[in-house]
Structure 1
Amino acid sequence: MSADIPFEITLGAVPASAPAAGEVKVHGSVSATQQRALSPVGVYVQHYLRRLGNTDSNDQSDHLKAHADHVVAETTNTINDLSLDDDSDEEESEELLSMDPKEWKKQDHYAVLGLSKLRYRATLDDIIKNQRKKVLRHHPDKKAAQGHINDDGFFKCIQKAYEILTDPVKRKQWDSVDPEIPTDIPSGKEKGDFFEIYKPVFEREARFSNIQPVPELGNENTSREDVEAFYAFWYNFDSWRSFEYLDKENVDGGGNRDDKRWIENKNKKDRANRKKEDVQRLRTLVDNAAKADPRMIRFKEEDKRKRNAKRNAREEEERKAAEAKKAAADAAKKAAADAVAQEEGLKKQRQEAHKQLKKEQRALKVLFKNANYFAPAGTSPSAADIAAASEKLDKITAAKHDVSNLVAARIEIEAAHAAGNGLAAVDEIVSKL
C-alpha cells in the first residue's frame, strides 16, 4: 500500500557575497517552479508508513524486523537461484575432491569450479555463480555439521581457483598454459577436406591474438586478397600468451637476494624458451596450412603460368632478336664475301686486261720491227728512223690504255702497212692523241 505525500521545497536566498546582476554574465535562466506529486515506493517506505500508523512502543523493533525479513528474503532468493541440485552441474570425482590445496598449481581451476566445458569461454558471471554454488556445498562449517572434522582442503582449492580466475592477469597466465586445451597442429599430410581440418585449429589459436577480430580462414571462394591477408596476419601473429604460470620456483619465498635473482633469471629464460617454441609451433602451423591450402596452390599455378608466359614471350623476343642479328651478320658476311669476290674478279679482269694490253703492246713493237720501222722498201732504217718510230710507238702505247683501242690501232697500222702507207697511219694516230 502506498500514499501520495505532498511536500514543499524552499530555495535559499542569494548570498550577500554574490556579485551584482550587472557584474555577471547570465548564460541561462532557471526554469519556473512547477508543482509535482511524488509517490515514494519500496519496502522501506511501506515499513515507514506502517510505523506512522502504529502506536506500539515496539514500532522500532517492528521496522528492524521488517528490514531483517527483507534481507532474509533477498538472501533466500539468491540461494534459491543457486540450486545445489542443478542437473547442469559437473560431477565431482573423488580425485578432484581429494586434491591437496598446497599443490594448487597442478589443479584444474575450471574443473574445481565446475566449468570444464566452458573453460576460457566462461564469463565472470559464470565464475562467480559457480563459486557460490561450490562454497555453499563445501563450506567447512557445513562439512563440520555433517561430521567431517577439518575437511576444508577442497574449499581452499575453490578459493584459489576463484582468486586466479577472477584476476585478469592471473587468469590470462593460466589460460596460456591450460593443459586441457590441445596444442597439436596438423602435419600438412592429412587426407580430407582442408577447411574442415584447419579451420578449428586456427579458431582455437585465434584466442591468443592481441589483435581482434582475427581474419577467418574462409572457403574455396575467398578472394586472393583476403587469403593473402589471412596468411600475412598469421605470419606476423601477435600473441598475448605467456608462461609465467609454469615458473617452478617461487621468487617471493625465502633465500637471499642472489638466490632470488638467480631464480628470477632462470624463470625468464624458461619463459623465453617456451615462447620461442610456441612461436615456432605457430609458424609451422601456418607453413603447413599454406602448403596444403588448395587456394594457395591454385594461386601459385596461376603465377607460374604468368611467369612462364612472360618468360616465353621474352624468350621468343630474344629468339627473334638473335635470328635477326644472325641474319644481319650472315648478310654482312655474305656482302663482305661478295665484295672480296668482286674485288678478286675485278683484280683478275685488271690483270687480264693488263696482260692483253702488254700483249698488244708487244704485238705493236713486233709490228714496228717487222715493218722495218716503216723505212722505204729496200732500205735499212737508220738510227734516227728507229728512234723516231719508237717514240711514236711509245706515245701510242702510253695513250692507249684500253686494249680494244690498242687492238684497233694495231689493226689500222697493219692494214695501212700492207697498203704501203703504214707510216702515214702511225702519224695520223699520233696526231689524234
Structure 2
Amino acid sequence: MADVLQLTVVPPPLPKSWSPQPPPAKSLSPLVDRKLIAAGPAYLAHVRRAVHNLSFEEHDKHVEEERKRLQELNGDGVGEDDLGVGEEEESPELSLLDPKEWKKQDHYAVLGLSRLRYRATPAQIKVAHRKKVLKHHPDKKAGVAGDSNDDAFFKCIQKAMDVLTNPEKRRQFDSVDPHYESLEEDVPTATEISKAKDPNRAFFEQFSPVFEREARFSRVQPVPLLGEYSDTKAQVEGFYDFWYNFDSWRSFEYLDKEVNEGSDNRDDKRYTEKKNKTERARRKKEDTARLRGIVDLALSVDPRIKRIKQEEKEARDAKKKGKSSSGPSKAELEEQKKRAEEEAKQKEEADKLAKADAKKAKAAAANAAKKARRAARDQEAPAS
C-alpha cells in the first residue's frame, strides 16, 4: 500500500494595505442548490467498467477492438461507422448517364446502394451521398483530363439524393425499381419443379425468393412467407389466404409522361393527365393479375397440399376403422333400423294378402257346399 504524506498548508499573512471590500449596493441573490450531472468520456468509461465489471486493461482492450472494427468498415481510419454502406465498385455505364434522363437511371446504383436498395435507411442514404459527393464533386475534378462528364454524374448523384430522401418519390421509384423489374420474369414453372431431382426442395428454394421480393409491396406487415414443408394446415391456409387478398401499395406514377416543356396549353395538360391515369390503372391491373398467377402456380405445385390431403385421408380411414372395430356406427344402426322396418312392412302386407286369400277360399268352399246340398234336395224330390 502506498504511503500517504500529509503536508500542512500555511497561508501567507495579509499585506498591511489590505482592507475588506465594502458591501455591494445591491443585495446578493439567494444561494441556489444545483445538481451537477456527471458527463464526459471519462465518466462514460467509468460507467462501462462498472456495468460490465471490467478492469482498466479489459476496457482498453474493448476500446481498441472497436476502433479497429470502425477502421475496417470505413477503410480510411476516420473512426466513424458508415452504417454498413461500404464501398461499391462503380460500373463504367454510370459515368455516361445523362442527368436529363434521370427517370431512366438506377438511383440506388448511383449512390452505391445496389446491395441494400429498398432496405436502405435514411441514415445510410445520407452516408452514401456524402461519400459520392466527396469523390465526384466538380471542384475536386477541376482541371483533371478525362473527367469532362463528371459534372453530369454529380447532377445524377444530386437527383438520386433528391428522390431517395423524399418518402413519396422514393416509394414511386421503389414501385418500378429496374433491378427487381428484371427479376419479375424469373418465376419457376410447374415443369421445372416437377422435373427437379428433389421437387419438394426445389419448390421452396425457387419460390421463396419470389415471395420475398413481392412482400415489400404489402401494406400489411409482417408478411407471411413461404414457410417449410412441415407447416400445419392452418399455416398453409393462412399463407394462401393472405396472398390471395394481398393489399399492395405499389403504384406507377413514376412512369407518367411529362407535359411538354414550355407548353401552357390546358388541353394538353388534361390530355396528358388523363392518359397517365389510364396507364397507371392498366399497369396496376396487370401487376395484380401477375401476382395472382404466381400464387395460383405456387398453390398448384405446393407439396404441402398433397401431404395435407394424404394425412386427412389416413385420418379418415383410421377413424372409420376404429369405429368398425368398436361396434356399428350410428349410420349403420340407422340403416339396420330402416331395413327392419321395411321387412316388417313387407311381412304385414303379405299377411294381409294371405288372410284375404283364405277368406276368399272359405267363401268359395261354403258356396260349393251350399250348391251341393241344393242339388241333393232337387234329386230327392221326384223320388218321393
- For this structure pair, what is the TM-score category when the shorter chain's length is used for normalisation? 0.5 to 0.7
Number of the residue aligned with 2:18: none
Structure 1 CA distance, aligned partners of 2:313 and 2:271? 55
Partner of residue 187 from structure 1, selected from 186, 189, 195: 189
Structure 2 CA distance, aligned partners of 1:38 and 1:344? 125
Paired residue type of 2:112: G
2:354 matched to 1:335? no
Partner of residue 231 from structure 1, selected from 240, 256, 262: 240
Partner of residue 95 from structure 2, selected from 94, 97, 101: 97
Q: Where do residues 15-26 of structure 1 align in structure 2 (5 Å cutoff)? A: none
Number of the residue aligned with 2:69: none
Number of the residue aligned with 1:158: 157
Q: Where do residues 23-422 of structure 1 align in structure 2 (5 Å cutoff)? A: 33-34=32-33, 80=78, 88-147=86-145, 148=147, 151-181=150-180, 182-184=183-185, 185-189=187-191, 190=193, 191=196, 192=199, 193=201, 194-250=203-259, 254-301=263-310, 323=339, 327=343, 330-362=346-378, 366=380, 369-370=382-383, 372=384
Are 1:144 and 1:150, in contact at CA under 8 Å, matched by a contact in 2? no
Are 2:138 and 2:151, in contact at CA under 8 Å, matched by a contact in 1? yes
Cα shift at 1:209:
0.8
Q: Deviations over 1:272-291 (max 9, x none)?
A: 11111111111112222222
Query: Structure 1 residues 9 and 80, CA, compared in 2 at 3 Å: closer, same or farther?
Result: farther
Cα shift at 1:146:
2.2
2:29 matched to 1:10? yes
**Corresponding residue pairs, total:** 303
Q: Which runs of 5+ in 2 are unaligned?
A: 1-26, 42-75, 321-328
Are 1:83 and 1:133, in contact at CA under 8 Å, matched by a contact in 2? no
Query: Structure 1 residues 87 and 317, CA, compared in 2 at 3 Å: closer, same or farther?
Result: closer
Structure 2 CA distance, aligned partners of 1:322 and 1:229? 44
Identity fraction in percent: 48
Query: Structure 1 residues 362 and 245, CA, compared in 2 at 3 Å: closer, same or farther?
Result: same
Structure 1 CA distance, aligned partners of 2:174 and 2:116? 12
Paired residue type of 2:375: K
RMSD: 3.9
Q: Which runs of 5+ in 1 are unaligned?
A: 1-7, 12-31, 43-77, 373-433
Greater Cα offset, 339-348 or 104-113: 339-348
TM-score (norm 2): 0.67
Query: Structure 1 residues 10 and 38, CA, compared in 2 at 3 Å: closer, same or farther?
Result: farther
Cα shift at 1:356:
3.0
Q: Deviations over 1:288-346 (max 9, x none)?
A: 22222222223345566789999xx8997897677557535643553343234223322
Are 2:108 and 2:160, in contact at CA under 8 Å, matched by a contact in 1? yes
Are 2:87 and 2:112, in contact at CA under 8 Å, matched by a contact in 1? yes
Query: Structure 1 residues 356 and 299, CA, compared in 2 at 3 Å: closer, same or farther?
Result: farther
Query: Structure 1 residues 259 and 203, CA, compared in 2 at 3 Å: closer, same or farther?
Result: same
TM-score (norm 1): 0.60
Structure 1 CA distance, aligned partners of 2:299 and 2:148? 60
**Larger RCO (alpha carbons 8 Å, 6+ apart):** 2
Q: Deviations over 1:329-380 (max 9, x none)?
A: 64355334323422332232222222233234435xx1x653x4xxxxxxxx
Greater Cα offset, 152-161 or 128-137: 128-137
Are 1:139 and 1:152, in contact at CA under 8 Å, matched by a contact in 2? yes
SS at 1:213 equivalent: coil
Are 2:137 and 2:154, in contact at CA under 8 Å, matched by a contact in 1? yes
Query: Structure 1 residues 105 and 219, CA, compared in 2 at 3 Å: closer, same or farther?
Result: same
Structure 1 CA distance, aligned partners of 2:38 and 2:357? 130
Greater Cα offset, 284-293 or 168-177: 284-293
Are 2:259 and 2:268, in contact at CA under 8 Å, matched by a contact in 1? no
Greater Cα offset, 117-126 or 99-108: 117-126
Structure 1 CA distance, aligned partners of 2:85 and 2:311? 57
SS at 2:353 equivalent: helix
Paired residue type of 2:188: P
Structure whose alpha-carbon radius of gyration is higher: 1
